Structure 1
Amino acid sequence: MNKSDILKIVKKKLSEKIETLERLISETRASNNETKSSMGDKYETSREMVQQQISTLQIQLNENRKSHTFLITLNVNPHQIIGVGSLVETDKGLFYIAVSCGEIIYEGKKIFVISSESPLGAALLGKKKTEQITLNNSAQNIVNIW
């Protein structure tokens, strides 16, 4: 497994999320400016709801930007002990410990990109090949680490 290629896919996915969020914020701001009217309280309530929506999108955008910046620091060298930047194969699936990004497909295989703070990510940290973890009463054997 080429972790450099996997990292490129994750970066691309985050870049696309960032672009989408930036577009949504821009469109939401534009629609807020276009809907000005003299409806009094209803207008102010609507305007506040739009502002809250923009704030929520801005938080998501900042988190995605922070994750994208973090990816630059990841070590793509093979690991013997699971840590941030490790690609881990268990008997339940493939997991790339980096940032919370969801599922990607690499060479026809599903890889779940998870954060080290996630329950599974935290359980895997510090483990070695052939060790076992238990999460939610379900055991997983570590088959391989890259």
Structure 2
Amino acid sequence: MNKQDILNIVKTKLAEKIKNLENLIAETRASNNETKSSMGDKYETSREMVQQEINNLQIQLNENVRAKNSLKSINTNPHQIIGLGSLVETDKGFFYITVSLGNIENHHQKIFLISPESPLARAMTEKSEGEEFYLNKIKQNIIKIW
């Protein structure tokens, strides 16, 4: 497996997510400006709700921008010991320790993108090929590390 190709897919997926959030924020701000009227208290309540939605979207945007920036420190060289940037095959699946972003498909193989802070990543960190670990009382064997 080519970790650089997978990392590029992750970067693209994050960039799309960031762009979508930026568009949502812009659309929400525009709709907030369009709802101005002489409705008094109802207008103020509506405006506050829209502002809260913008704040929530901004928080998501900031988290995704931070995640995108964290990808710059990912080492795509092969790893012997599991850590940030490791692509790991266990008997339960493929896991790429980068950012939490669901899963992707690469060459018809599903790869789960997990953050280094996730319980799964913590359970396998510092392990090497052939070792096993437990998560929620379920044993997993480490088959390969890239």
Asked whether the two chains share a fold, i.e. TM above 0.5, the reply is yes
Query: What is the aligned-residue identity percentage?
Result: 66
Task: Provide the residue aligned with 1:25 in structure 2.
Answer: 25
Gaps (5+ residues) in structure 2? none
1:101 aligns to 2:101 (yes or no)? yes
Task: Provide the residue aligned with 1:139 in structure 2.
Answer: 139
Map of 1:7-26 to 2, 5 A cutoff? 7-26=7-26
C-alpha distance in 1 between matches for 2:37 and 2:23: 24
C-alpha distance in 1 between matches for 2:48 and 2:123: 42
Cα deviation, residue 46, structure 1: 0.6
Map of 1:1-146 to 2, 5 A cutoff? 1-146=1-146
The one-letter amino acid paired with 1:4 is Q
TM-score by length of 2: 0.99
C-alpha distance in 2 between matches for 1:41 and 1:124: 54
The one-letter amino acid paired with 2:28 is T
The one-letter amino acid paired with 1:46 is S
Structure 1 runs of 4+ aligned residues shifted over 2 Å read: none
C-alpha distance in 1 between matches for 2:17 and 2:124: 27
Gaps (5+ residues) in structure 1? none
RMSD (Å) for aligned C-alpha atoms: 0.5
The one-letter amino acid paired with 2:137 is N
The one-letter amino acid paired with 2:29 is R
Q: In structure 2, the residue corresponding to 1:28 is in which secondary structure?
A: helix
C-alpha distance in 1 between matches for 2:28 and 2:106: 34
Cα deviation, residue 89, structure 1: 0.2
The one-letter amino acid paired with 1:72 is K
Cα deviation, residue 114, structure 1: 0.3
Instruction: Kindly provide the CA deviation profile for residues 75-132 of structure 1, in whole angstroms up to 9, marking residues without a partner as x.
Output: 0000000000000000000000011111000001000000010110111110111111
C-alpha distance in 2 between matches for 1:124 and 1:12: 26
